[in-house]
């Protein structure tokens, strides 16, 4: 109950004070978290070293900014609990919806994104633009909080698929020509698939590619970067992922996942500090952590 009250109070508080002040406090908290959370700092810097090509000073600078930007995202997440359709449309600045509709060819679209920018607005704006959208959501252990978060999404027109029932739910949605949004920058050292990202191997979930291939869906890599550091508007970056299956299922899953990460890498390069990655993603880092 205390967690639920904290969420409700946070939603009210973040709307009661000026946005820039909320963000200024959030960035200060992010900087404190960067110095206080040793493990998260170490992992984030190690990840950013790949982005910077080994430049340690630049990697630390990007990691500090990433921490701050993530707390800003959390402010937006709490504010999202009281968002309406008018606000969603105001905050997403993009005009490519007609081209995106053309990608729906009967078997839906798998939208693959990352912990980057403000990804929550992606599903919300798709719903407002007439796309039937299903999102994969983790279930909060706290029941009232879970209902609060799910309700904030459903009232904006999203269908919610629980992560623990992800496979069948996604397949049904795609066969109904829905759009399904999934996050893919999640380390999967044992059950995932290895692809190259910024020149080194990572292990990530194979589910998005496997289900897209099974359903015959279009696949689009997407990101929603913040336009201005002190504003809550975002734009949309999308890249349709062209891929022709060979019939070799395992090779096709790996090839499609690799094609997705090729596009996502381009998004990260444009503004690495909007990528929130505080876990080890690269195989080499995971192996070192396992040995220590």
pLDDT at 152: 61
DSSP SS3 for 1 = coil
Spatial distance between the Cα atoms of 280 and 290, rounded to a whole number of angstroms? 11
Confidence at 45, pLDDT banded by 50, 70, 90: very high
DSSP SS3 for 222 = strand
Buried b (16+ CB within 10 A) or exposed e, 7-45: bbebbeebeeeebeebbeebbebbeebbeeeeebbebbb
pLDDT at 32: 96
Between these two residues, 228 and 4, which has the higher pLDDT value? 228
Give residue-wise pLDDT tens across range 50-101: 999 999 999 999 999 999 999 999 888 888 877 888 999 999 999 999 999 9
Give residue-wise pLDDT tens across range 245-287: 999 999 999 999 999 999 999 999 999 999 999 999 999 999 8
Residue 14 has pLDDT above 90, yes or no: no
Taking the alpha carbons at both ends of the chain, their separation in whole angstroms is 39
Phi/psi class of residue 177: alpha, beta or left (left: φ > 0; alpha: ψ in -120 to 50)? left
pLDDT at 215: 94
162-179 mean pLDDT: 79
Report the sign of the C-alpha dihedral through residues 265, 94, 207, 120, in that order. positive
Q: How many CA atoms lie within 13 A of 206 on its CB side?
A: 18
Contact in structure between 286 and 203 (CB atoms under 8 Å) = yes
Contact in structure between 145 and 4 (CB atoms under 8 Å) = yes
Domain spans in the chain, listed from the N-terminal domain onward? 2-291
In sequence order, what are the residues at sequence separation of 6 or more whose Cβ sits closer than 8 angstroms to the Cβ of residue 127?
Answer: 133, 156, 157, 158
- What's the DSSP call for residue 92? B
pLDDT at 11: 61
Distances (CA, A) of 37 to 23, 185, 278: 20, 21, 10
Q: What are phi and psi of 272, to 5 degrees?
A: -60, -30
- Token readout for 205 is 């979930």
Contact in structure between 241 and 219 (CB atoms under 8 Å) = yes
Spatial distance between the Cα atoms of 232 and 23, rounded to a whole number of angstroms? 10
CA 66 to chain centre: 14
**Total-model pTM:** 0.90
221-237 mean pLDDT: 96
Contact in structure between 160 and 135 (CB atoms under 8 Å) = yes
Lowest mean pLDDT: which of 50-54, 85-89, 161-165, 180-184? 161-165
Contact in structure between 110 and 161 (CB atoms under 8 Å) = no
Spatial distance between the Cα atoms of 68 and 9, rounded to a whole number of angstroms? 22
Directed axis angle between helix 120-128 and helix 56-80, to 10°? 50
Ranges assigned E (strand) in 172-217: 179-183, 193-197, 200-204
- Token readout for 178 is 């829905």
SS (H, E, C) 10-22: HHHHHHHCCHHHH
Q: What are phi and psi of 108, to 5 degrees?
A: 75, -175
């Amino acid at each position: 109950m205390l967690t639920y009250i904290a969420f409700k109070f946070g939603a009210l508080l973040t709307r009661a004070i000026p946005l820039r002040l909320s963000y200024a406090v959030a960035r200060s908290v992010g900087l404190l978290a960067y110095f206080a959370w040793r493990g998260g700092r170490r992992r984030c810097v190690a990840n950013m070293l790949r982005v910077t090509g080994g430049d340690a000073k630049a990697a630390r600078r990007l990691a500090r900014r990433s921490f701050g930007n993530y707390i800003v995202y959390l402010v937006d997440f709490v504010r999202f609990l009281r968002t309406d359709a008018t606000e969603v449309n105001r905050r997403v600045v993009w005009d490519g919806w007609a081209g995106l509709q053309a990608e729906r060819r009967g078997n839906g679209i798998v939208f693959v994104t990352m912990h980057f920018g403000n990804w929550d607005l992606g599903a919300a704006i798709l719903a407002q633009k007439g796309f039937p959208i299903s999102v994969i959501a983790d279930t909060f252990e706290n029941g009232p909080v879970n209902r609060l978060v799910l309700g904030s999404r459903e009232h904006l027109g999203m269908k919610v698929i629980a992560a623990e029932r992800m496979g069948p739910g996604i397949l049904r949605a795609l066969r109904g020509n829905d759009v399904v949004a999934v996050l893919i920058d999640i380390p999967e050292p044992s059950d995932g698939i290895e692809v190259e990202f910024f020149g080194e191997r990572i292990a990530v979930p194979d589910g998005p590619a496997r289900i897209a291939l099974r359903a015959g869906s279009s696949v689009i890599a997407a990101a929603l970067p913040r336009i201005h550091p002190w504003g809550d508007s975002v734009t949309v970056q999308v890249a349709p992922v062209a891929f022709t299956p060979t019939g070799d299922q395992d090779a096709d899953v790996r090839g499609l996942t690799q094609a997705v990460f090729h596009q996502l890498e381009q998004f990260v390069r444009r503004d690495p500090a909007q990528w929130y990655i505080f876990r080890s993603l690269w195989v080499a880092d995971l192996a070192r952590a396992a040995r220590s």
